[in-house]
């Protein structure tokens, strides 16, 4: 695969992930405003910071593995399916027959959480391996 197509796949995967997270936020906004009739929440909502980091972890994995075509293409296809599910649940109920706001969890939210958690685990494993490589090279330099 040429580097140009691989770069396009990385950008596509990142856009799909950001758009899916934006869809989650829009769904929460519509639920709070139209269903619960609440005012717009404060911008300092630190309770959801962990879930936001989990949702955005696939971007870091795709950027770290940008030269590995199978990983990038797998993430791009999975994130596109998650985005398609998010759009499906955001469409009006008269169009799809499903009211996404009535569900507690939909499959696209669960898939986004699962892919994010798997990506977080991959980032931790990558960091441990890189740190052990650094320690090994530092020890070998000190032995010389």
Q: Write out pLDDT tens, residues 118-135.
A: 999 999 999 999 999 999
Domain, as residue range, for 131: 3-143
> Distance between CA atoms of 71 and 65, rounded to whole angstroms?
7
Cβ-in-10-Å burial (0-12, 13-18, 19+) of 4 comes to exposed
Structural domain total, the chain: 1
Q: Write out pLDDT tens, residues 25-80.
A: 887 777 777 766 666 555 556 666 777 888 889 999 999 998 888 999 999 999 99
Model pTM?
0.80
What pLDDT was estimated at residue 43? 53
User: Which contacts qualify for 65-68: CB closer than 8 Å, 24 or more apart?
Assistant: 66/6, 66/7, 66/10, 67/6
């Amino acid at each position: 695969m040429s580097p140009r197509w691989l770069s396009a796949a990385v950008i596509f995967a990142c856009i799909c992930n950001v758009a899916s997270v934006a869809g989650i936020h829009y769904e929460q906004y519509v639920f709070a405003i139209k269903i619960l009739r609440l005012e717009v929440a404060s911008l300092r909502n630190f309770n959801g910071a962990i879930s936001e980091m989990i949702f955005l972890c696939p971007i870091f994995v795709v950027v770290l593995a940008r030269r590995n075509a199978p990983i990038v293409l797998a993430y791009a296809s999975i994130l596109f399916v998650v985005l398609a599910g998010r759009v499906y649940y955001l469409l009006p109920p008269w169009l799809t027959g499903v009211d996404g706001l009535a569900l507690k969890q939909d499959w696209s939210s669960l898939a986004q959480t699962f892919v994010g958690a798997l990506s977080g685990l991959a980032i931790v494993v990558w960091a441990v391996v890189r740190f052990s490589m650094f320690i090994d090279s530092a020890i070998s330099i000190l032995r010389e």
